[in-house]
Amino acid sequence: MAARLFLGIIALLTVLVVGGVTAYYLYGDEILAEQAMPTVEFVAPPEEDRPLYDEDGDWLVKPGVGEDLVGWEPGEFLPHPYFDQSDVMIDDAADPVDLTPAAIFYVHPTTYLQRDRWNAPIELDGNAAFRARIFIQSQASAFAAMGQVWAPRYRQAAYGAFLSTEPDALSALDVAFEDVSTAFDAFLAANPEGPIILAGHSQGSLHLLRLLKTRGSEIADRLVVAYIVGWPIDRAVDVAVTGPPVCSRRDESGCIMTWLTFADPANPNLFMRTWEEGNGSEPLRSRERLICTNPITGGEPNEEPALGRGTLVPTDGLQNATLAQGAVRARCDEGLLTLAGEVPELGPYTLPGNNYHVYDYALFYGDIRHDADRRREGWERAR
């Protein structure tokens, strides 16, 4: 009797756990959207709060500011236990070329998760500031060896703005973009010539995509590559008006690299639903036209999952990381960058639907470094 009771309890717990996981997979996006939406109406921030980017305090990183963050390096370089160098995709050999230092404009993703306002203050504190530092270390640092990195503070839209098409959400995004555009003015004034790399993630990528649409012609001959990562791009609606084409090979410059990382089975509804609904002022986007460029292959199509050059595996409570070579495989599948096989333990921040959004850069850190360097060479040869 006791044994049957015990087995009955175990069976009930199993059903509850499996049911909970299933509900999280199927409806997690709706639950998360409801919990993320700001609880107040949008109020335009005072004009005097608008940053002009003429002071060091307006930047997270620029020459002389935040160099300890962007200069971060992984603590160790460790081959994966099953790593085989022969499995790594080898780029076609080319004659060496002298590289001109690049200027890198990086826009960080959303770090403000509170619901008390639609736009974060320019000066972050607490967890929001901690997250911004972590993203600088795990994303922008990939480009530090290539030139000077500039990363503005900005009045980012709160997380809920990306899960709504209501006027409040669109107004919050406009405020954030105005800051990014003003920061870009200051960036260009300080870097009037030479190659430029644009890099963003999530909200940062959305603003960079809009920047390319409205101001891309200003840097057309200077653009090495734009990493529009963690934000969906429609091949017809977006690419047609941005200017730069989508990257299709490693030595190509002046193009866009973009990906959204998922594991199987993937459920991308969290961001796709709002993205496809649009705001009524643009043509409707379609998941069928979603673009994926694999950072492991440089955008070249691959039928089989390609082996990565280095994944950041966090240690010390996200304060540090090792660079694990050959730890992931991935390929583009129906517009998503899909992970194959076992994925290293990266932390507790996988989103509903097997969405590895938070780790879009960390998973392919070594590949991004390699990719940017090869595109710098391509830019030099094309001059």
Rounded distance, CA 371 to CA 365, Å?
10
Most confident of 21-35, 225-239, 271-285: 225-239
- From CA 159, how far away is CA 109, in angstroms rounded? 10
pLDDT of residue 371: 96
DSSP 220: T
Average pLDDT over residues 251-279: 88
Per-residue DSSP letter, 206: H
Which residues lie below 8 Å from residue 40, measured CB to CB, with a gap of 6+? 115, 116, 117, 118
Residue holding tokens 């409707």? Answer: 284
Main-chain dihedrals φ then ψ at residue 240, nearest 5 degrees: -60, -25
What is the average pLDDT across 234-249? 92
**Cβ atoms of residues 237 and 283 within 8 Å:** yes
pLDDT for the residue 301: 85
Strands lying side by side in the sheet with 102-107: 59-61, 147-152, 102-107, 196-201, 223-229, 255-257
Q: CB 361: neighbour CB atoms within 10 A?
A: 24
Query: Which residues are paired to 355 by β-bridges?
Result: 262, 351
Pairwise CA distance, residues 32 & 353, whole Å = 12
- Given this model, what pLDDT does residue 370 score? 95
Query: Token match 């949008």: residue?
Result: 42
pLDDT of residue 22: 38
Mean pLDDT, range 222-229, rounded to an integer: 98
What phi and psi values does residue 134 have, to the nearest 5 degrees? -65, -40
The amino acid that residue 322 corresponds to is T
Residue 26 has pLDDT above 50, yes or no: no
Per-residue pLDDT tens digits for 106-163: 999 999 988 899 999 999 999 999 999 999 999 999 999 999 999 999 999 998 888 7
